[in-house]
Every structure is written in structure tokens, then in C-alpha cells.
């Protein structure tokens, strides 16, 4: 059996686009999602239904992945953007921190079977600057960003561990024109880029031979907009 790429949260939006692109490039992709996928977007996509907030679901996914010859990469894309309260903080912690921590540790042997493997954490631009309106989201993504450093050191040199910090790539489907214009103006590049910038960053990291413990920012210059000179 070959060595697949695990993409979490691969059933919709950016995750689905990424899983499809990787499958089209010839990779076997295990797409883990809470949603049940009956018809994959590509024959190379193997859907696996799992709520990554649940330990038993993660254990089942780990057992499935141990059935392969190795593991080419893990892309931790699954994410929830929830309002601030304690229950939501606990949910986001389980998904953004506990699940990647668990999977990275449990699947280390599978990754190390290959001469070169990758772990990619999809963080967020707010993970390095905070967010007064989504404190819990930014904080849990910051923990995910920090784990890049620790796992990069733990698994070097065979496994490269890097992070991607995207800004808003795809606008909310139910947003009105005012929302659209206000959101786009938060970046220097005032357009909706879609999933392609993240796909490009993932492909770059998968091919890179000399990057680990690093972060790729794809936010259209949002961190520079309206800054105090």
C-alpha cells in the first residue's frame, strides 16, 4: 500500500479544494471530516468520517492510517471559528490543539518510515496578533502555531513541520455587499483569493527540502494595513 496524505476538515471549502488538488496530482488523500462523504470529489480521495474532538474517533483514524506503508504528510486543516464562551473555547481547544497533538504523536512512526515526510499546521493570521472579537479562536490557533516549533525539533530531520497563517480566503456565503467591501478593505490586496493561495503554500512546503519550524503568511498584506507609522 502507498503512503497517503491526511487532510483533516477536507469535506468543504478550502479543505475540499486542497484534498482535490492533491488527489489530482496523484497523491492518495485520506480526507477526515465530521461529515459523511458518500461520493468523493476524486477517485484518489478516501473519505474517513471522524469527529476529531472525540478521542475514540481519532483512535479509529490512527488505526486506519497505520494500515498503510507510511504516511507522506498530515495537513491539520480542520477548524472552527466560534464565538467566545467557555464551551466554545473547550471545543476549539480539542480541535485546534488536542487533536493535532494526538495525531502528530501517534502517527510519528508512520511519518518516519519515509525519507521525507511533512506535517503542516493550518493556523491563522490572528494566531500571531490576537483578536479582540474571537479571543478563544486566536488563542487556540496560537497554540497550534507554537506546536510547529516543538514537533519540528522532535521529528527532524526526516519530518519537516511547518505552519501556514492564512487571512480570510473565502468570504462567508451569506454575507451582504457591505460585509464584502469592509472585509476586503482589511488587506492591501483587496480581492477574494479563494483556496489557491493555501494550496500553493501546501504544495511549496511538500516540495521544500530546507524548511522546518517555519510559517508561511498568506493574508494579502493584512498585517500592514492601517498600521501606525
pLDDT score for 141: 98
CATH no. of 5-221: 3.40.50.720
CA gap 224, 95 in Å, rounded? 29
| 179 among known catalytic residues | no
Q: What is the pLDDT of residues 47-91, one digit of tens each?
A: 999 999 999 999 999 999 999 999 999 999 999 999 999 999 999
CA gap 187, 174 in Å, rounded? 21
**Quick one: pLDDT band at residue 38, thresholds 50, 70, 90?**
confident
**What is the reported pTM?**
0.94
- Backbone phi, psi, residue 180, to 5°: -60, -50
Domain range summary for the chain, segments of one domain joined by +: 5-221
Choosing from 137, 155, 179, 210, which is the catalytic residue? Answer: 137
Cβ(140)–Cβ(81) below 8 Å: no
What rounded mean pLDDT belongs to the chain? 93
Amino acid at each position: 500500500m502507498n503512503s497517503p496524505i491526511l487532510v483533516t476538515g477536507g469535506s468543504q471549502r478550502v479543505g475540499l479544494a486542497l484534498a482535490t488538488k492533491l488527489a489530482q496530482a496523484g497523491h492518495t488523500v485520506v480526507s477526515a471530516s465530521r461529515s459523511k462523504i458518500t461520493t468523493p470529489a476524486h477517485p484518489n480521495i478516501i473519505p474517513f468520517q471522524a469527529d476529531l474532538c472525540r478521542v475514540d474517533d481519532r483512535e479509529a483514524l490512527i488505526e486506519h492510517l497505520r494500515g498503510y506503508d507510511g504516511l507522506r504528510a498530515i495537513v491539520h486543516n480542520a477548524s472552527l471559528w466560534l464565538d467566545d464562551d467557555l464551551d466554545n473555547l473547550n471545543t476549539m481547544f480539542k480541535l485546534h490543539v488536542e487533536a493535532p497533538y494526538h495525531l502528530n504523536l501517534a502517527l510519528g512512526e508512520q511519518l518516519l518510515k519515509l525519507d521525507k515526510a511533512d506535517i503542516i499546521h493550518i493556523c491563522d493570521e490572528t494566531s500571531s496578533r490576537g483578536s479582540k472579537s474571537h479571543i478563544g479562536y486566536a488563542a487556540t490557533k496560537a497554540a497550534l502555531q507554537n506546536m510547529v516549533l516543538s514537533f519540528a525539533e522532535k521529528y527532524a530531520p526526516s519530518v519537516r513541520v511547518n505552519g501556514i497563517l492564512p487571512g480570510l480566503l473565502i468570504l462567508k456565503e451569506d454575507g451582504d455587499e457591505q460585509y464584502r467591501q469592509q472585509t476586503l478593505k482589511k488587506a492591501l490586496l483587496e480581492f477574494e483569493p479563494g483556496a489557491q493561495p493555501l494550496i500553493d503554500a501546501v504544495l511549496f512546503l511538500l516540495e521544500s527540502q530546507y524548511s522546518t519550524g517555519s510559517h508561511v503568511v498568506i493574508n494579502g498584506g493584512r498585517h500592514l494595513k492601517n498600521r501606525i507609522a
